[in-house]
């Protein structure tokens, strides 16, 4: 680790008193004489380990990635400018209380101290010509916004609008799969009366797109006021989502709430393109002023650069993110989202969580949470338990949740903020994005399969231990296969090959296990069914290309939408003209013919990890995995498109309230963000197998790196 060790910088930070220790996996454990020194240490250490990642995320939040990543990054940069991520981050920063602002600033000062040293470790800076620049204090807030601007799934409203136009209003929710493309998580709370120790256990795993470096960072933060270990987001101070203070612990999943709205705008321009006044239709036919300015995006193009001018418009509802006439869009659409309206992300909660000693402390802190909207589990050593929703959800007309609504109609204006929900913990508490405690706040939720399976597995014992939680994490049972397999027995007139395939599928244990060959056959069959149904004439009007910015296209492709909604499409009464049996028969015959005479293939041979990288490495090799999108081990393929997985557990955790040192965790890659270093991918083999890494809490068992 000597490449990370460097002399402390100056610039007013020489009085910061902290130590950096590492465990056998390079996970940083930070100890400081006071809280601000600790936050400085967190920023500095993160910059040393993750400089490339931090700078990529900073530029994403500012809409300036094309300057070093090239033309492929332009679409995101245009979206980031139009949705006003950086400006919103500044607003939220300016609204922070003095204590939280000082807390964030200490972290940013640490980042700025560590960035030059971290950049010197990573060849990608030299390869792209990127030179790190000092962060402004609002950058962490911008990174948080950038990571979650699409979390609420507002692009789905474009898809629902298309479905309603093509198939009728009654079909608006026909493809509801509850959005596995953007987010998802498992979490469960086992009370003390169901554990071997008599103390609660909290476990789970957030599902996100897997990135290299990983989006989550294992870390420990200790000062005289607290000693907390948990999973941080690089670029964000503290531990927003997952933490264990010793006497209390918490974890979250995405609540699947709907809290971002799209408004149809009628815009009018006066003047020429370079100097014009823009107004929007208001109530009673009035014209309302629209804020307008232009920004310039620099684009790397080989050895030269080009510039693209972006017009930024904002109505009284919010920034205009879809432009009529661009990318097939037939209307201007503005986006209204709580951080821009409230100038608040909930960052004041972050220091409060680190200081929490009890569930009551966590509960009080989370009353101030804003973005994103989460379901929370918490427990403490006194027996306290918590299951609640936290975040800002606007009160407005129900139609706002489904589709774009007219911006000029007062009926669709926001009318305040919803009260969040809390439920008593009775038996096991499970959160897996399904309907439940967050139902009043959303439209589409995850199918119940993961939540039901977790409850079923937990009910098998009243003597749970922390290590046994890994068996739940890695479970591969695919309950969503049932409706499709149920159609097979009634098929007649099959070829011998198709009949033999049917028997194999009906005899399959429905586990998407890494070594299962039947899982591979089922996935091929499911793909054939998905494509056949998507090609049915009834859906012809939905097959046209997506509209709006390309950043929003993933929510609008017919084949993936069909694959994720397959259960509902196979059972709905809304499409009597859809001959499901014919499509299933044809798909079975097609799959049988394609696989006849070929060697059986284990699922992990085709279901391989495909993480996102800012600069793709064509020579990188990635492991094969078990699981699938409706398994507890939710390694998401895209049915009908690919068996590769880009979404999976971005971290796994087990918080033991009896003995914190018995807690466990893992991330997909490792603690170090620099390719080729010992801890860049050292957890990957363990993670791929569903294994966990022990948490180390004894300072004497750690290696001091910096003091």
Backbone angles phi, psi at 305, to 5 degrees: -130, 155
Across 560-572, average pLDDT: 92
Backbone angles phi, psi at 67, to 5 degrees: -65, -25
Q: How far apart are CA 246 and CA 240, in angstroms?
A: 16
Q: Are 440 and 423 in contact (CB under 8 A)?
A: no
CATH number of residue 306's parent domain:
2.30.120.10
User: Has residue 309 been placed in a domain?
Assistant: yes
pLDDT at 337 over 90: yes
Q: How many CB atoms lie within 10 A of CB 192?
A: 17
User: Has residue 98 been placed in a domain?
Assistant: no
Q: Are 195 and 201 in contact (CB under 8 A)?
A: yes
Sheet containing strand 242-244, edge to edge, reads 385-390, 374-380, 248-254, 242-244, 226-232, 217-223, 28-32, 18-22, 703-706
Phi-psi region of 531 (alpha: psi -120 to 50; beta: other; left: phi over 0): alpha
Percent of the chain with pLDDT over 70: 97
- pLDDT, one tens digit per residue, over 119-137 is 999 999 999 999 999 999 9
Last residue of a domain, one of 581, 601, 621: 601
Last residue of a domain, one of 601, 623, 656: 601
Q: Are 569 and 575 in contact (CB under 8 A)?
A: yes
Across 8-25, average pLDDT: 72
Question: How many domains is the chain partitioned into structurally?
Answer: 2
Q: How many CB atoms lie within 10 A of CB 508?
A: 18
Domain residues for the domain of 289 are 261-336
Last residue of a domain, one of 549, 566, 601: 601
Across 523-528, average pLDDT: 97
User: Has residue 524 been placed in a domain?
Assistant: yes
CATH number of residue 590's parent domain:
1.10.1400.10
User: Average pLDDT of the chain?
Assistant: 94
Q: Which residues pair with 267 in a beta bridge?
A: 280
Q: How confident is the model at residue 275 (pLDDT cuts 50, 70, 90)?
A: confident
Backbone angles phi, psi at 187, to 5 degrees: -160, 140
Which one, of 584, 587, 589, lies nearest residue 498 by Cα? 589
pLDDT at 428 over 50: yes
User: Has residue 201 been placed in a domain?
Assistant: no
User: Has residue 281 been placed in a domain?
Assistant: yes
Q: How far apart are CA 50 and CA 26, in angstroms?
A: 13
User: Has residue 256 been placed in a domain?
Assistant: no
Q: Are 391 and 258 in contact (CB under 8 A)?
A: no
Which one, of 570, 643, 562, 563, lies nearest residue 609 by Cα? 643
- By three-state DSSP, how is residue 499 classified? helix
User: Has residue 448 been placed in a domain?
Assistant: no
The pLDDT assigned to 210 comes to 95
User: Has residue 650 been placed in a domain?
Assistant: no
Q: Are 253 and 206 in contact (CB under 8 A)?
A: yes
Q: How confident is the model at residue 177 (pLDDT cuts 50, 70, 90)?
A: low
- pLDDT, one tens digit per residue, over 483-497 is 999 999 999 999 999
Across 150-164, average pLDDT: 92
Backbone angles phi, psi at 426, to 5 degrees: -120, 110
Q: What is the DSSP string of 510-566?
A: -B--TT-HHHHHHHHHHHHHHHHHHTSGGGGGG-SPP-S-GGGGGGS-HHHHHHHTH
């Amino acid at each position: 680790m000597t490449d990370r060790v460097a002399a402390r910088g100056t610039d007013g930070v020489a009085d910061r008193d902290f130590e950096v220790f590492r465990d056998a996996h390079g996970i940083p454990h930070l100890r400081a004489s006071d809280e601000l020194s600790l936050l400085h240490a967190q920023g500095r250490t993160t910059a040393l380990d993750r400089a490339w990642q931090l700078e990529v995320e900073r530029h994403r939040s500012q809409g300036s990635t094309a300057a070093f990543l090239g033309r492929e990054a332009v679409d995101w940069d245009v979206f980031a400018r139009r949705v006003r991520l950086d400006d919103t981050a500044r607003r939220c920063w300016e609204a922070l209380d003095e204590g939280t602002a000082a807390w964030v600033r200490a972290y940013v000062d640490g980042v700025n101290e560590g960035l030059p040293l971290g950049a010197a470790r990573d060849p990608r800076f030299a390869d792209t010509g990127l030179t790190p620049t000092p962060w402004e204090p609002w950058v962490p807030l911008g990174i948080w916004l950038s990571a979650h601007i699409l979390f609420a799934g507002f692009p789905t409203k474009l898809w629902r609008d298309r479905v309603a136009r093509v198939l009728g209003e009654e079909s608006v929710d026909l493809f509801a799969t509850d959005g596995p493309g953007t987010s998802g998580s498992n979490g469960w709370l086992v009370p003390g009366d169901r554990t071997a120790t008599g103390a609660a256990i909290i476990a789970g795993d957030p599902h996100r797109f897997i990135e290299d470096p990983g989006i989550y960072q294992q870390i420990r933060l200790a000062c005289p006021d607290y000693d907390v270990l948990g999973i941080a987001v690089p670029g964000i101070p503290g531990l927003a989502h997952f933490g264990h203070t010793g006497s209390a612990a918490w974890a979250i999943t995405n609540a699947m709430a709907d809290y971002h709205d799209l408004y149809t705008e009628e815009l009018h321009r006066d003047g020429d393109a370079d100097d014009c006044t823009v107004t929007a239709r208001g109530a009673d036919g009035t014209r309302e002023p629209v804020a307008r300015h232009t920004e310039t995006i620099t684009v790397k193009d080989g050895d030269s650069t080009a510039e693209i001018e972006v017009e930024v418009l904002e109505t009284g509802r919010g920034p205009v993110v879809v432009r009529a006439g661009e990318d097939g869009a037939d209307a201007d659409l503005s986006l209204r989202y709580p951080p821009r309206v409230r100038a608040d992300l909930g960052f004041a909660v972050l220091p409060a969580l680190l200081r929490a000693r009890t569930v009551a402390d966590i509960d009080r802190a989370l009353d101030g949470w804003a973005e994103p909207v989460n379901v929370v589990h918490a427990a403490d050593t006194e027996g306290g338990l918590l299951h609640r929703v936290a975040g800002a959800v606007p009160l407005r007309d129900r139609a706002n949740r489904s589709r774009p609504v007219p911006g000029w109609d007062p009926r669709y204006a926001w009318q305040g903020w919803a009260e969040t929900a809390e439920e008593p913990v009775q038996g096991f508490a499970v959160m897996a994005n399904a309907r439940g405690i967050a139902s009043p706040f959303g439209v589409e939720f995850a199918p119940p399969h993961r939540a039901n399976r977790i409850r079923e597995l937990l009910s098998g014992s009243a003597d749970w231990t922390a290590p046994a939680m890994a068996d739940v994490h890695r479970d591969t049972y695919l309950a969503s296969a049932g409706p499709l397999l149920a159609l097979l027995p009634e098929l007649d007139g099959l070829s011998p090959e198709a009949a033999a395939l049917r028997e194999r599928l009906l005899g399959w244990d429905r586990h998407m296990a890494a070594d299962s060959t039947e899982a591979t056959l089922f996935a091929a069959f499911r793909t054939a069914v998905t494509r056949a149904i998507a090609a049915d004439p009834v859906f012809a009007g939905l097959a046209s290309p997506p509209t709006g910015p390309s950043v929003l296209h993933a929510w609008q492709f017919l084949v993936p939408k069909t694959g994720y909604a397959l259960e509902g499409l196979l059972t709905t009464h809304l499409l009597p003209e859809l001959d499901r049996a014919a499509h299933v028969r044809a798909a079975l015959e097609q799959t049988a013919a394609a696989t006849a005479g070929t060697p059986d293939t284990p699922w992990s041979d085709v279901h391989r990890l495909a993480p996102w990288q800012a600069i793709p490495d064509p020579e990188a090799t990635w492991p094969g995995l078990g699981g699938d999108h409706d398994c507890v081990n939710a390694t998401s393929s895209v049915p009908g498109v690919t068996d590769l997985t880009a979404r999976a557990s971005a971290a796994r955790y087990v918080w033991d309230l009896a003995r914190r040192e018995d807690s466990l965790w893992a991330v997909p890659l490792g603690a170090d963000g620099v390719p080729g270093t010992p801890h860049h991918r050292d957890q990957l083999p363990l993670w791929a197998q569903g294994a966990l890494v022990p948490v180390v809490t004894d300072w004497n068992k750690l290696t001091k790196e910096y003091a």
